[in-house]
Amino acid sequence: MRSRLEGVGPVTGATIANSLQLPLHDVEPALLKLAAEGVAMSGMFTPGSADLEWCDRTLLARIHRYTVKRLRQEIEPVSSQNFVRFLCRWQHTIPSERRQGPDALDAIIMQLQGFEAPAAAWESEILPARLENYDFTWLDDLCLSGRAVWTRLTRPPANTAANNPGPIRTTPVTLLPRRSSPIWTRAAHAPSGEPPQLSSRAQAVADHLRAHGASFYDEIVESTGLLRTQVEDALAELVALGLVSSDSFAGLRALLTPSERRKPFGGGKRHRRSALFGIEDAGRWALLKRSLPNAAPVRGYAEPDPETLEHIARTMLRRYGVVFWRLLQREAAWLPPWRELLRVLRRLEARGDIRGGRFVAGVSGEQFALPEAVGLLRETRRAPLSNVFISVSGADPLNLVGIIVPGPKVPALTHNRVLYRDGVPNAALIAGEVQWLEQLELGDARAAEDALIKRLAGSPLMAYLR
């Protein structure tokens, strides 16, 4: 039986029984014995087969290696230009392909989870670039329903609090599905060392939250005896240090909005309900739970557990469709190194969950892609050029100038911008000045500049975004 399995590929027990002219009830015990010894493996190895098959373990491994090699050879790599075109479709930043409605926001947060961006960039740039007619109440509703959370995953240096107590616009914030929040807090664990120094007001608020748990804004004011403005300043300091968060994104929005811009809404004076972007709409405030990794840190770094590594690898695939080492330059510095993600990606390829190969030309090292991304890559390469300008913020994940496409890197700041046309960066807006990366005709240059310097005209978000 062992010799027969070594000479054929995947085969059913009935086929072996017929070839040996033996009854099936005599063949099956022998196959089970070989499987128990680790010589044979059972499963459905032939595509479309509904019957249990058997195969020699060594032969099956060889067939699998040949299959993976053949699949990799079938891949025709695309240029970096076409890869950026693909990413604009993959992340729905092409104006005609933006998602619509509040339900799409959930999918966008799933795709962008773990990506850090300045606090004000999310509603001014990143979400409106992917959602048609973005409404800030969509994000508030998603957070209040318990499906999403906002947080700062890492703390600033120990000496930051004294010099910069408030959550300035550049405070790195990430949006997460609530269920995966513990995974990301483990991945971005706080460094060992002295706890951050808090002001007396922030310490009073932190002590209240530690003693009483999640609390509403008015409860904190009443318990601490602080003025309302003092409680706001204390919450701002705790948010900037990555120590607290609120039920709704309205909490962060209120802290970023100057008090003189929090205008009443809801009709006239007699029907006035509350102030637009008021901190009372934040829901409850609570201290964040920090889960440390199980492994002991080595030279300041603790290797994440397998669950965390696989979640991050799958998130990167969901975000970019195709992943390789160079894309990590656009991600947070605390992400696991490429060598650790590479082991996970190889395992996912071996299981048949993803594809490996050379998908993007001019990039060294191994590359991996979701099966659905491979088809869209091929379709994008064949599609005609659209000649459409696509403008993204410097804080957007698609700011890949100097990483994927040639050109000087654009600092990842909210008000910096990159202008693509068919995957080619044509211009950048840096510190308020337009820098041309491609030579354009006069008419195209005017259209490019208009697309580069966009505004959220008429949006109530301008109260804290401008």
CATH number of the domain residue 311 falls in = 1.10.10
Residue 86 within any structural domain of the chain: no
Residue 116 within any structural domain of the chain: yes
CA distance 292 to 345: 24
CA distance 258 to 325: 41
Residue 410 within any structural domain of the chain: yes
Per-residue pLDDT of the chain (466 residues; tens, 9 = 90+): 788 887 788 888 888 888 888 888 888 888 888 888 888 888 888 877 788 999 988 888 887 887 777 777 668 899 999 999 999 999 999 999 999 999 999 999 999 999 999 999 999 999 999 999 999 999 999 999 999 999 999 877 655 544 454 557 789 999 999 999 999 999 987 555 566 789 999 999 999 999 999 999 999 999 999 999 999 999 999 999 889 999 999 999 999 887 665 555 444 444 444 456 789 889 999 999 864 444 444 444 567 889 999 999 999 999 999 999 999 999 999 999 999 999 999 999 988 899 999 999 999 999 999 999 999 999 999 999 999 999 999 999 999 999 999 999 999 999 999 999 999 999 999 999 999 999 999 889 999 999 988 755 445 665 556 5
For position 44, which CATH number holds? 1.10.10.10
Distances (CA, A) of 101 to 18, 128, 136, 423: 60, 11, 12, 27
CA distance 254 to 236: 10
Shared-domain flag, residues 236 and 278: yes
Number of domains in the chain: 4
Residue 431 belongs to domain spanning: 389-465
Shared-domain flag, residues 449 and 399: yes
- pLDDT recorded at residue 158: 57
- Among 382, 402, 428, the domain boundary falls at 382
Nearest one of 79, 63, 87, 75 to 356, comparing CA atoms: 75
Residue 105 within any structural domain of the chain: yes
CA distance 58 to 6: 8
Q: Structure tokens of 346? A: 């190889």
Shared-domain flag, residues 276 and 317: no
CB neighbours (10 Å) of residue 449? 16
Shared-domain flag, residues 160 and 283: yes
The Cβ-side half-sphere exposure at 216, using a 13 Å CA radius, reads 7
Residue 55 within any structural domain of the chain: yes
Residue in this structure with the two tokens 């990842």, named with its chain if needed? 412
Shared-domain flag, residues 205 and 331: no
Residue 85 within any structural domain of the chain: no
Residue 80 within any structural domain of the chain: no
- Among 17, 41, 73, the domain boundary falls at 73
Q: What are phi and psi of 78, to 5 degrees?
A: -105, 160
- pLDDT recorded at residue 218: 95
Residue 81 within any structural domain of the chain: no
- In one letter, which amino acid is 177? P
- pLDDT recorded at residue 259: 66
- pLDDT recorded at residue 165: 47
Shared-domain flag, residues 140 and 260: yes
Shared-domain flag, residues 207 and 100: yes
Shared-domain flag, residues 423 and 376: no
Shared-domain flag, residues 194 and 241: yes
Residues near 418 by beta carbon (within 8 Å), at least 6 away in sequence = 391, 392, 393, 394, 396, 398, 399, 401, 410, 425, 427, 428, 429
- pLDDT recorded at residue 263: 54
Shared-domain flag, residues 100 and 165: yes
CA distance 166 to 4: 73
Q: Structure tokens of 414? A: 């909210």
Beta strand pairing status for 215-216 and 172-177? unpaired
Q: Where are the alpha helices (DSSP H) in 8-125?
A: 13-20, 24-36, 57-73, 80-90, 102-112, 121
Shared-domain flag, residues 456 and 349: no
- pLDDT recorded at residue 159: 57
Shared-domain flag, residues 432 and 321: no
* Residue 203, H or E segment: helix 200-212
- Among 255, 287, 319, the domain boundary falls at 287
